Each structure stands twice: as C-alpha cells, then as structure tokens.
Structure 1
Amino acid sequence: MNGVINLFKPPGITSAGAVSFVKRRIKAKVGHAGTLDPEAAGVLPLLIGRGTRLFNYIADLNKVYLAEIVFGAATDTQDAQGQVVSTSRNIPSIDELNKALPNFTGEIQQIPPMYSALKKDGKRLYDLARAGQSVERKPRQVVVDSIDIVSQSSENSYLMRISCGKGTYIRTLCHDLGEYLGSAAHMNILIRESVGHMHMDEAYTMQEIESGNFKLLPADSLLCHMPKLVFDKIYSKKLLNGVAIPLADIDEIINNNENYRVYIEDSFIGIGYVEGEILRSRLVYAAIS
C-alpha cells in the first residue's frame, strides 16, 4: 500500500496519535505531512508506504486555516487550553483589526511558543515548559500570504482565514496581534482547511479509515506545486535506476536546479532536477520490477 490519505484529524488527538491509529488499521508504514496541534482539527495528509519518502518535498506546501482570535486575555500556551497570564479591557473593533492585518502578512518574524514541538538541546520545548522552564527562542521568518476576517463571532472574538507557508504558528499570530493592538489575545479554535491541493471537504474521518471506507490517493497528488516532465517508455530502465537523462529533445521550458515530477507516460516515477541540459535524479519513487 503506497500513496496518500487525506485524513480529517479531529480535536483531542495528537498528529502522532492519528498516525498510530491509521498504522494499526492498514498495517503499513505511515507518516504525516505537517503537525496539527492536539486541539486543532482539519486536513492531515498521511504518507503511506513509499509515500513517506516524499516528506522532504512537501514541507513547503501552502496551508489554509480558519482560526478564532479572542481578545481580552493572553495565555501561556497562546491558545484556549493554557493558563491566563494577562488580561485587557481593550477590545479592538473590526476596523482596527483590519488595519493591523497588513503588518502580519508577507515575510514576518515569529518567536516560536514555548509550548511547541521544537527542540532545544535535544529536549522538546513543551516538555521544558511543563517543567516550568523558559528558554530563549530566536525569531524565525515565516510567510503569511493573506489574512481575511470571516466574521465577528462574539463581542470580543473574530473568525479569520489565514493562508500561510511552513512553520507559521497561528496561535502566535493571534497572540502577537493582541500585543500589537494594545490588548491581549489568544487563539480559541483552529481548523486546517487545506494543505496544498488537499481540502477538508474531501478528507476522510477516522471512522471511515477504521471501516475501510476511504480512497488511497496517488503519491504525486501532493506534488502538484512541481512542474512535470514526461518521458517515453524507452527511458524506463534509466529513470528507474536513477541514471541521468539528456534533455536536448524536450520542448518544455526547463529551469536549472528546480525540482520536477518525472513520469513515464502516465506513471509517476520520481523527482528529478535539471543541471544544464541533463535531468538528474533526486528520488526514485516507483519500484524497479
């Protein structure tokens, strides 16, 4: 069994727990493509069998989230599960929030939260935080493509849709918005609506996985962000053995050092990159028969 499962992770389970659940049911190697917080829900792409080899090539996939920001209180975890560490009576209006959002789009700096899976000297930050320790975290550059206010959900909270790149902490975004607006804020709800071309309305529940009522997607369904190169069957042996291929007869516009999805006719073979007029292999995905 090789490919991808578009899983809807419910709140209340870790991403690792979801992986273990599916692994026990399908009896295959399973990995996930991007951690979701335990109380978050939404799309969690699962890489199955040989699909796990694609992890390094899908880390940069764009993600879209629906999040509720609550003003009036900040917490130590930056979400609703944490302890309140500060409060404010200043509740920004929807106009004030809208005016602030451009300062949080594009390339921005974020300090990762202590309650995160990042490591410091080999230890998870959340383990250090639970032990009452706080360590210095360096700001990291992340990319936020857009933030849109969907609705005002209560007198002190708003639903926002955020499109962003890898490594973006939505709860940190909410926390930082609170500070920027002279208030205090935390994230209450987080739903990941999509990862790349995988969308929530096409995701399978854990109950559907358990009953076997799901469809295994081809591994290259997560690679649509890469351009495509198609070869004739006469190149099969060379491509399957990772041999470099001359591109003199290829009509497509080729960019050096860019990753390409490589196919023999309609069959996904692997990932290659171009050097001069030569296609070199990065990953052979298909099994050699």
Structure 2
Amino acid sequence: MGRRKKGRDISGWLVVDKPAGLTSTAVVNKVRWAFDANKAGHAGTLDPEATGVLAVALGEATKTVPYVTDAMKAYEFTVRLGQATNTDDAEGEVITTSDNRPNDDQIKEALSGFVGDIMQVPPQFSAVKIDGQRAYKLARDGEELELAARPLWVEELLLTDRPDADHAVLEMTCGKGGYVRSIARDLGQLLGCFGHVTRLRRVWSGPFDLQEAVTLDRVEELARTPELDALLLPLDVGLADLPHVTCTDQGAARLRNGNAGMVVAHDVEYGDECWASYQGQPVAVGRYKAGELHPSRVFNL
C-alpha cells in the first residue's frame, strides 16, 4: 500500500515575483510549504539570478503546466557590451573583452536577425542534458561542450534603453525554450564587441503577468492563512490558450471516469485540443471528436 501524500488537496495557480538568488525549485518548495499543499510545480525555469514571473501550480493545476510552459513569454534584460563570460551572464568569469562599442542603430539592425524562426545554441552552463547529465555540471568540470542548436520563435526583440555605451536594455517576446543569455552572447558576437546578460526579468508568461504577482516575502508572511489561499488563481487560468467546451450531465460523469463524454461546443473543429467544464468546474482536457471530448487529462476537484 502506497504512502499517503502529505499536505492539503488545494489546487490553483500562484504568480510569484521571483527574487534574485534563488532557484525556481526553491521558490516552488517555499510556496508548497506556505500552502501546505500536497503537490506543486512551476511553468518555466528562471535562472537563479533572474527575477520576475514564476507561475507556480498547486495540486490539480500541475496537470495544466505544459500549456503555460508552451505559451509565449516576455523578458526585459540588460546586456553588458564589451565582455563575454563563460556562463553568458554576470555570474561567470570574463573570458574575452573588446573596446568596440556599437551605436544604437547598429544594435537595432543586428536585432532584426534574431526575430522570427531562429536557431539558438544553449549556453554552456544550462540545464540541457548531454548523455543523461546536465550541461552545467559538465561545464563546471571544465568540459568543452558541443551543444546542438535548437529552433526558437522570437516574436519581437527591441532596444528600449541605452543607459551608457557599455549597456543596452532589450525586451524580447518569444516561444518555449528561449535562452536570453544566448541572445546576449550571439548579439555581442554579431556586433563584434561580445556581450553577456547582467539583469534578466520575466514580465509575463502565457496568461500570467507581474501585475498579479506576489513577492516571496509576502507568501512567507501569509503562510498557512486564509489570506494566502485567497491569492490563489483558478486552475483553468492555465488553460487560457485552449478552446473551452461545456459538459452535459452524462458527459461530465463519463469524463471524470476517464471515458469520452458528450460536450457542447462552439467554434471548435474536429480534433482540436480543448478543455471542458461542468457547472463552472474544470473537468478534463482532451480532443474534440464528433460531439465528444476524448480526455487526455482529468481533474479530480
């Protein structure tokens, strides 16, 4: 007989304004403790020194994590020009320098080459797996890694500020799997001046943005209280990018047992992935086929 999970059966999303100096996993663990939740996860890792939107899912909301992870995201970051580091951020060692400093027009022209469908090589110090091991662990051991380029969709990449000749502030909107550090590295190489990230902040991720984010200090202050529970967003917020259908009485019962069930749908095509609710409660995610939803995920709420 399996051991019973510790914690409450509580489900929903909490948007945390992640502070610098903590891993995303550490933030999730603190949120899980504060809610005394039996399960928690996050939608999209932020580097330890990065700040901003980290969407934490509790309970049944963890089943919706992939839909937020796959969604578009936006970042604001500062690039230090004239220096390359081994980690492509300010935490690493400076390995190359240059006295060359591009002007604003040169930066804007170079940025156009990073918009649309691009191929991006992850940083040496990244969580990419190589033969079952994380790249950053191998890099720490001094290994030179040959990381394969990966496709990335960049919706927009703009120069928004130029505090001085050594720094450029950029904003990027991109799809899943983007490395801001790689953008800074490759931009610096293209401009012939080298570059690395000194500051990174995620301003929104899918349906979640900073306006609804709560600080980790506030989470700890309200830990184990009804006031903290009141900050939790509904599970279905994580399904905002999917079409919505509603269940019939019989359809809801069948879906909750993992079977295809009748739904009422509008503007949904055969084979579309969508989510179904019954009396305002999320029931399942699945594929719509001939008046029925064939579930891939069922919510136990």
TM-score (norm: length of structure 2): 0.90
> Matched residue of 1:54: which SS?
helix
**Partner Cα distance (1:198, 1:98) in 2:** 28
Q: Which residue of 1 aligns with 2:181?
A: 171
Q: Which residue of 2 aligns with 1:286?
A: 300
Structure 1 unaligned segments of length 5 or more: list them. none
**1:244 counterpart = 2:253:** no
Say if 1:233 and 1:265, in contact at 8 Å, map to a contact too.
no
Q: Which residue of 2 aligns with 1:110?
A: 120
Structure 2 unaligned segments of length 5 or more: list them. 1-9
Equivalent residue for 2:288, pick from 274, 282, 287:
274
Cα distance, 1:274 vs. partner? 2.0
Cα distance, 1:246 vs. partner? 4.7
Cα distance, 1:232 vs. partner? 3.5
- Report percent identity of matched pairs: 34
**1:86 counterpart = 2:101:** no
- With 188-197 and 16-25 compared, the bigger mean Cα shift is at 16-25
Q: Which residue of 2 aligns with 1:183?
A: 193
> In structure 2, do the counterparts of structure 1 residues 182 and 277 end up closer, same or farther at CA, with 3 Å as the change threshold?
same
Say if 1:232 and 1:265, in contact at 8 Å, map to a contact too.
no
What one-letter code is carried by the residue in structure 2 that aligns with 1:238? R
Runs of 4+ in structure 1 deviating by more than 3 angstroms, as ranges, are 275-278
**Partner Cα distance (2:212, 2:80) in 1:** 29
Say if 1:235 and 1:264, in contact at 8 Å, map to a contact too.
no
> Matched residue of 2:214: which SS?
coil
What one-letter code is carried by the residue in structure 2 that aligns with 1:283? R
**Partner Cα distance (2:145, 2:168) in 1:** 31
**Partner Cα distance (1:226, 1:286) in 2:** 19
User: After superposition, what is the alpha-carbon deviation per residue over 1:196-226, rounded to whole angstroms, capped at 9, x for unaligned?
Assistant: 1211121011111112254111111111111
> Matched residue of 1:56: which SS?
helix
Superposition RMSD in Å: 1.5
TM-score (norm: length of structure 1): 0.94
**Partner Cα distance (1:265, 1:21) in 2:** 33
> Matched residue of 2:197: which SS?
strand
Q: Which residue of 2 aligns with 1:126?
A: 136
Cα distance, 1:25 vs. partner? 2.1
Say if 2:61 and 2:238, in contact at 8 Å, map to a contact too.
no
The alignment of Structure 1 onto Structure 2 pairs a total of residues equal to: 285
